[in-house]
Structures are given as C-alpha cells and as structure tokens.
Amino acid sequence: MLRNQIIDRIQKNKTCLCVGLDTDASKLPLHLQGKPDAILEFNKQIIEATSDYCVAYKINTAFYECLGARGWEIMKETLRYIPKGIFTIADAKRGDIGNTSAMYAKAFFDQMAFDAVTVSPYMGSDSIKPFLEFKNKFTIVLALTSNAGSADFEQQKIGPDYLYERVLRTSKEWGTTENMMYVVGATKAEALLKIREIVPHHFLLIPGVGAQGGNLEEVIKYGAIKNEVGLLVNSSRQILYASDGEDFAEKAKEEAMKFQGII
Amino acid sequence: MLRNQIIDRIQKNKTCLCVGLDTDASKLPLHLQGKPDAILEFNKQIIEATSDYCVAYKINTAFYECLGARGWEIMKETLRYIPKGIFTIADAKRGDIGNTSAMYAKAFFDQMAFDAVTVSPYMGSDSIKPFLEFKNKFTIVLALTSNAGSADFEQQKIGPDYLYERVLRTSKEWGTTENMMYVVGATKAEALLKIREIVPHHFLLIPGVGAQGGNLEEVIKYGAIKNEVGLLVNSSRQILYASDGEDFAEKAKEEAMKFQGII
C-alpha cells in the first residue's frame, strides 16, 4: 500500500483509527469461549463491525504465537477478512542480523501479505534495511513506546538526545516517508512536539490510547500533520472488549465510531 | 533446565558449543531439496550427528516463520529430536509491553518447550520481566550483537557507558545468574574484558564465531569463567553447511568436534 492511499482513506472515512487485534482467548465473549476457532470468528465479527470506521488493523503476533502453528494460520486467515484498501500491520517487533531479518521480512510481507511490520531498532541499520527493500510495504520502527520500561533505555540520554530521538535521527536516513513509520506511545503526548521537529513528515503509529492512559486530543494536537494527518492511533482492548456479551461487535463498532470526527 | 546442569554437560562433554539450527531451505544438500519435510529431515540428521559434541541447540525463529504455520510445526518437531539434557534456545529476539511479552513467554516456554528465549532490551524492564517469571527457564538478553549495525545504537555512549554496558548494568538487577544470560557477539572479543567486570557470573551466548569472523580462542581467553566456563559459543552456517552432499551430517559432526577440547 502507498502513503497516498492511507491518507485518502483517512480523509474519506474521517478517522485515523487503527484497530489492534490483540485477541486474547481468555477475554472472548462468554458465548464464544471454548468453541473451535472462536478467535477467528471473533476477529471476523470485529472486522465486519469496525472496518468502515478505521484505516488500519494491527495484529500483535504474540497473541497468536502463544497458540502455536494454529495461531499462525489464524493470523493469515484473519488477514483475508480485512477488506482491500485497509492498511494491515504485523506488530511483531522483530529485528536480527541482516540475512535473518530478510527471513522475517519474507515471513510477514510474502508468506503473509501484511502491508507493514513493526521492528526493534536495537541492533541498528542492517537489522532494519532488509525490511525496507520490499516495494509498497512499510517498516514501522519502535521509537518511544508507551510502557513504563521505556524509561530504562529509550529515555536515557545519548549526548543531547534521548535514545529514542537518536533512533529517529539515525534511522530516518535509511528509508523515506514512503516506506517508514515510527511507533510513538501516546502516554508521552508532549514529546510529540520534539519528535515532529525530527520527523515532520513520517506517519506515526500511536499505541497506548485508552487502556494505557494516552489522551487522543493531545496526540492530535501535537502529532498531526496538516492535511495529511500522518497518524495511526491504535486502540485494542477498548474496542475488542467493549462488551463480553453477544453484542460485542455492536459495542466495538460504537467504540470505533467515537474516533470519527476527532481529527 | 538449571545452570548447574549446563555446567555439568560442558565439563562432561568438554565443549561449550551451541549449534545454531538456522536452517535455510535454499541451502539444503541437493539430495534433500524439494522433498517434503526436507528441513525437518535435515535438522534430525544434524542433531543425531552433533548432539554428543554440543551443549545447546539454538533455533532461530526467522528461518521457520518464513515458512508460515508449517514452520512453527517444524520448530516444535525439531525440539523433539533434541536429546534430554541439551539446552534449547529459541532465538526469537522478542520484547513488547508486559501483557504481550507474557504471551511470547507462553509461546516459547509453554506452547513449545524451549529452555530459553532471546529478548531485545529496547523497551526496558516490563518487556523482559514476564519471561523471568517462568521457573527453570532462561531469558537471554541482547547486549552487544555481532553485526555492523551494533555501532548505530548499542555502541553509543550513555554517560560513561556504551548502551550495551548500560543494558548489562540495569538488566542484571531484574534476574539472577540462574535465569538470565546475555548475547555478546564474538566479533568484539576485546569488549569481553569490560563485560566480565559488569557481569562476572552470567552465562554469555556468543554468536558470530566462524562465518561472521569471530575468533574462538579470544572469546575463551577474555570471556570464560573459571571452572564453570560460562559460555555458549554458537556456530550455525559453519556446521550446517559444512558439505552440500550426502555426507552433510558427517561433515557437520567433524566441524562440531573441532570445538571440543578448546575450553
């Protein structure tokens, strides 16, 4: 998918919502629990209910890997339910030496047909560049994450910069705004001002709104790019588990609709 | 598995070799190529040939994920061929916010029965602690990797320390020598002196010997712990692809035997 296609959908559907399919078997609605392929059925209904009100879906691989090989099949099958024109992200946070990262890129871009994959920058340029070689795909680099542990290293100073700022400055030279994005946690909305000085034109994937405490209005205020928006705001638990009854999909839709018009 | 069991095997088998099962379908011996389950058959024969001459096997998940769900089955089936008493590592380089890292831990420690998993420290304490909660399992934290890209961030200074030294100092407080190890690339053998000042008693997993240019004697000289050795030296391509003929397992065994007696 191309950057312009993402912007077009944001403008047309009046939202920058990314629905996070972090589907946890233990949190499914009661009437689905214990059924074979409950997770797939749940994902299907969530997608049907929310696809008009979002720009992207993000599948966190951890929630599927813990199911083994069947989890990988469910990821792939879930992708098939996502309508064309919606951006798909494998939230995998991968990264390894060059020939190995190339295998990960193959896994998510070829073996499965994700539009984007999240990567960890710790190992540096040659751990990320193999992902960037795929055409019409996006590599989304972790910069500042939304968890408390981000204080341990991401928010330590390297010279005048925080590590996450150094990650932005260094890695933006490896790709373009057409094939790279950054993860920036919403719990640090004020940090977005400085981040936008460093990467004024890159799309930012913003986790941590809702369950993790981030404020959506502040994220838009400090992070949006004029006309293009340039943000994908992720919400997972708030949408997926809006109800544990048979109305879960309807309630998920209502939650997704709340994001419309805010931009 | 317990630290003492690893040390016992090192002393009994007179080696600290970890065989990396980074099995690449395109590099299999010609007579196996194109056969169904060629990778599994290859792994089985490599394990049978080398298991008396190693302490650990390390399965890099990237090489299996690029095969999709079947790749995950092959990983699990490969584990079954590894004899009891040999330490098994999922080289997965995972890490995410707490509840998500817990899912990854479940994937590798419960769904598959690995003894250890490698993790990336970028996101900090709460991305690693969920792995440490599993009993008789090891969490192996990336410190200094063997690739050129390690210069981009790992080898940048945070105050008086390199980032990778800061990772060692900070993270060693999260666990013990009984449940944590560190990845330290062999291409930087001289850095091991300083690393051993910071983590004198932790096991180190050393990739990058052989194909990546690391020197085994230097690694032992600067990195070994008296009596306990405290090193797992990984070799992948040098062993797996020692021959592309029908004698591949025999040649792999010869390569593995070269590591014996060096410690």
- Which among B68, B121, B127 is the nearest to A76, CB-wise? B68
Shortest CA distance from A207: residue in chain B? B97
Q: Specify the DSSP class assigned to residue B107.
A: I
Residue B262 located in a structural domain: no
- Which among A24, A97, A124 is the nearest to B151, CB-wise? A124
Q: Does A136 lie at the interface with B, CB-CB under 8 angstroms?
A: no
Instruction: Tell me the C-alpha distance between B190 and B58, whole Å.
Output: 24
Q: What is the pLDDT of residue A152?
A: 98
Q: Of B59, B152, B188, which to mutate for an interface test with A (greatest number of A Cβ within 10 Å)?
A: B152
Q: What is the pLDDT of residue A170?
A: 98
The tokens for B48 are: 């049978």
Helix (H) or strand (E) holding A197: helix A192-198
Shortest CA distance from A22: residue in chain B? B100
Residue A127 located in a structural domain: yes
Mean pLDDT lowest among A6-10, A98-102, A213-217, B8-12: A213-217
Specify which residues B144 forms β-bridges with. Answer: B184
Contacts of A120 in chain B (CB under 8 A): 93, 95, 120, 122-123
Q: Of B23, B147, B188, which to mutate for an interface test with A (greatest number of A Cβ within 10 Å)?
A: B147
Residue B263 located in a structural domain: no
Q: Any idea what the CATH number is for the domain that residue B214 is in?
A: 3.20.20.70
Question: Which residue among A12, A44, A76, A93 is the active-site one?
Answer: A93
Q: pLDDT digit string (tens) for B129-186?
A: 999 999 999 999 999 999 999 999 999 999 999 999 999 999 999 999 999 999 999 8
Question: B119-145: string of b/e by CB count within 10 Å (b at 16+)?
Answer: bbbbbbbbbbbbbbebeebbbbbbbbb
Residue B205 located in a structural domain: yes
Residue A262 located in a structural domain: no
Q: What is the pLDDT of residue A16?
A: 96
Provide the chain B residues 72-91 that lie in CB contact (below 8 A) with chain A: 72-73, 76, 91
Band the pLDDT of A201: cuts 50, 70, 90: very high
Q: What is the pLDDT of residue A211?
A: 58
Shortest CA distance from B158: residue in chain A? A158
Q: What is the pLDDT of residue A209?
A: 80
Q: pTM for the complete prediction?
A: 0.97
Q: What is the pLDDT of residue B208?
A: 80
Residue A192 located in a structural domain: yes
Band the pLDDT of A35: cuts 50, 70, 90: confident
Contacts of B27 in chain A (CB under 8 A): none
Q: What is the pLDDT of residue B119?
A: 98
Contacts of A126 in chain B (CB under 8 A): 147-149
Is B66 in contact with A107 (Cβ distance < 8 A)? yes
Examine the pLDDT at B51 and tell me if it is beyond 90: yes
When pLDDT is averaged across residues A197-221 and rounded to a whole number, the result is: 87
Give yes or no for a contact between B184 and B208, defined as CB atoms under 8 angstroms apart. no
Instruction: Tell me the C-alpha distance between B142 and B147, whole Å.
Output: 12
- Of chain A, the percentage scoring pLDDT greater than 90 comes to 89
Q: Specify the DSSP class assigned to residue A132.
A: H
Is B147 in contact with A127 (Cβ distance < 8 A)? yes
Mean pLDDT of chain A: 95
Q: Does B2 lie at the interface with A, CB-CB under 8 angstroms?
A: no
Q: What is the pLDDT of residue B212?
A: 62
Is B110 in contact with A66 (Cβ distance < 8 A)? yes
Is B72 in contact with A69 (Cβ distance < 8 A)? yes
Chain A closest CA to B227's CA: distance in Å?
32
Is B124 in contact with A170 (Cβ distance < 8 A)? no
Mean pLDDT lowest among A93-102, A154-163, A214-223, B60-69: A214-223
- Of chain B, the percentage scoring pLDDT greater than 90 comes to 89
Band the pLDDT of A59: cuts 50, 70, 90: very high
Contacts of B118 in chain A (CB under 8 A): none
Total domains, chain B: 1
Give yes or no for a contact between B1 and B217, defined as CB atoms under 8 angstroms apart. no
Q: What is the pLDDT of residue B211?
A: 59
Provide the chain A residues 148-167 that lie in CB contact (below 8 A) with chain B: 148-154, 156-159, 163, 166-167
User: Where in chain B does DSSP place strands (E)?
Assistant: 17-20, 56-60, 87-94, 116-119, 138-144, 157-158, 161-162, 180-184, 203-206, 231-235
Is A94 in contact with B156 (Cβ distance < 8 A)? no
Residue A263 located in a structural domain: no
Look up the domain containing B222 and give its range: 3-257
Is B66 in contact with A104 (Cβ distance < 8 A)? yes
Q: pLDDT digit string (tens) for B207-239?
A: 988 656 668 888 999 999 999 999 999 999 999
Contacts of A150 in chain B (CB under 8 A): 123-124
The tokens for A43 are: 């994902």
| All residues at 6 or more sequence positions from A153 whose CB lies less than 8 Å from its CB, including other chains | A163, B121, B122, B124, B158, B163, B166, B167, B170
Shortest CA distance from B118: residue in chain A? A96
Examine the pLDDT at B249 and tell me if it is beyond 80: yes
